[in-house]
Structure 1
């Protein structure tokens, strides 16, 4: 397709390979929806695992080529077909474009914008690498590296235009919270601390369960169907099934079904503290403006702990010293599989400070601009 001069690019391709459970497709699907709904763009999503998208968006069919909520969704085949490239091409998380597609990009009269959407990181080098370019040696195509991040020098975070307004309306309406939880089969005591637990396998959960059972305040823990159930199974002798409710001491632990993205946002908005994992749920928990505990995706040679420390250095800025120390102990203990009892109790003693900081942090993130807007602005500039 030949772009009309001076008009911004309207056709976008997003390529996604599902590697980290639902994190990769979670980010790509949110981005595709936002580009289409807020900017009226024509978006084609190339995906190698339709089943993963179906879990997040149940209207997805078992079909190699379909339109889902206005997005053209195409199964990424082993032998890639001859197709006309879009004006903007997003290679999500270095998934490597098909060679035939790259060759087709090179043949276009006006070469497409080629962006490598990177993984989220708070490390300081991201500021310098955001926007860097590399030249494809075979075709001379320019690829730009686009980094989400936590400073104004990065691409920011995904955040739909109406998200904050919708969250505030939900959180200011107690009836909306009660009705949403009831739709999940959840009824809570008025004085219970409500926790969501979405995590990779983690032996540290045993110390938290013990602590929650002995809590002075009732605790209701909601566990979306996922990998943490295996670790809970080792504590309870068998993994609790979806719909199960286990009561021990002050703890009510309830397993709820896997949720759509919109449902999961509302779960985060409903809970007092959110345990999250990976990238997508981690970002959404920050937009929830609630206290959170992050289980970062484990990497070889503990490289993930460097990334954890980088985020903590930013997130902890301005925290009261005792809370900062307690959060550091809790986050490291959780990510290293250690006993979290003391750190949890210290954080809970300072819950009101933690809540205030969570709201302030969300406002800081909002001041940086959002990822989709920055992508569109970048692609509207002349090459």
Structure 2
């Protein structure tokens, strides 16, 4: 006999897109809300009566439609189970039929416009007071986001009205900020300053300690002809380059650059060509990916979750944004770069913008990579400065809780 579920403070709905993107963000959000998402107001319990939230006892339920993909970044998850507790979060398989007697939480988050199931919305409308409904949008640096952040959209449900609020992550004080759990920056700094710990980390990947002039690069990107070009450049580099390559969509481009197209590879393989060594890595959990980003000199990242974590890593990175029709993604990329490059000297900013464009447009990289020694130190310092600025402005969960406190 299963134990009855407690009343939930937070419900988060997620449709898995591109295997890891959306679920990566919502899984981080769920865990941070469990630890830090206390709202200083009175919520409601299963009976509809007001009950005070208990300090440190937040209950979070995460609804996910594709548990098999989720399990690849959450090894403790059993994809065959309909509902289960993982890391203090109740993970519910989201399919057509709702569990019997399900009661919506005080706050319901619709991640990335995934569209809540109609029966669940009807149950929201039955609650008194109704839950606060939040549409957590995709991260964007475009200027229009500031005008739309926090706006309400009235929803008619039978004879009831529910307001759905739009919450936009972003890079300015007039947006929702970025996900960053308490203690992350201090943990990163301890990691990056621990030489013995870094040597042990490399040894865990069957790699020697990093040599004095060696460059270590992580690559988690989409397909791009620029990756093949970079691999060729790294082979001819005057300094050693080690590429840390999790299995994923970029592997075929790397193999083409090595002249080993179609070759079967597996985690643990070490491929060498010229000055380049390529270490194949298995998929890891999110904490393991953070450590990889913290340890490398340059990170090539994609989508949203790895993009945000690369910024908290305070290291140089290139963003491979999800491709969209009619080059719409390039507008979003440049919107971010306008913020990210604003405090850099014009020459450095121009080079960095060109590097990001080359990755996203599949362009030749030889001349750009040749300028790495000229700009690497300034870029590395900028990575730390940028991370500090984002952290000062406040994280997403802190801003979300503050936004909701006056609405629940």
User: Which position in structure 2 is the counterpart of 1:184?
Assistant: 205
1:81-137 deviation per Cα after TM superposition (whole angstroms, max 9, x unaligned): 341111100000000000000011011110100000000001011111100110113
Structure 1 stretches of 4+ moved >3 Å: none
1:218-247 deviation per Cα after TM superposition (whole angstroms, max 9, x unaligned)? 111100111101222333223433221111
1:137 matches 2:153 = no
Distance 1:10 1:104 in 2: 14
Q: Partner of 1:153 in structure 2?
A: 174
Q: How far has the Cα of 1:189 moved from its partner?
A: 4.1
Work out which of the residue numbers 67, 80, 86 in structure 2 matches 1:50: 67
**1: CA distance, partners of 2:285 / 2:207:** 17
Secondary structure of residue in 2 paired with 1:313: helix
Distance 2:202 2:96 in 1: 42
**TM-score after normalising by structure 2:** 0.89
In the alignment, the residues of structure 2 paired with residue 374 and residue 178 of structure 1 have an alpha-carbon distance, to the nearest angstrom, of: 38
1:122 counterpart (127, 135, 141):
141
Report the TM-score when normalising by structure 1: 0.95
CA contact (8 A) 2:302 2:319 kept: yes
- Rate the CA distance shift 1:104–1:316 in 2: closer, same or farther, 3 A: same
- Counterpart in 1 of 2:361? 336
CA displacement at 1:10 relative to structure 2: 6.3
1:188 CA drift (Å): 4.3
Separation in 2, partners of 1:112, 1:20: 30
SS in 1 for 2:393: coil
Other-structure match for 1:78: 96
- Give the alignment partner of residue 12 of structure 1, picking from 10, 13, 33: 10
Aligned to 1:67: 85
User: Where does structure 1 lack aligned partners over 5 or more consecutive residues?
Assistant: 1-8
Write the distance in 2 (CA, Å) between the matches of 1:208 and 1:349. Answer: 17
* TM-fit CA distance, 1:187: 2.4
CA RMSD of aligned residues (A): 1.4
CA contact (8 A) 2:36 2:397 kept: no
The gaps in structure 2 that reach 5 residues or longer are 1-6, 38-55
What is the aligned partner in structure 2 of residue 164 from structure 1? 185
The correspondence for 2:118, drawn from 76, 99, 110, is: 99
Q: Partner residue of 1:29?
A: 27
Q: Deviations over 1:56-80 (max 9, x none)?
A: 1101113111000100000001223
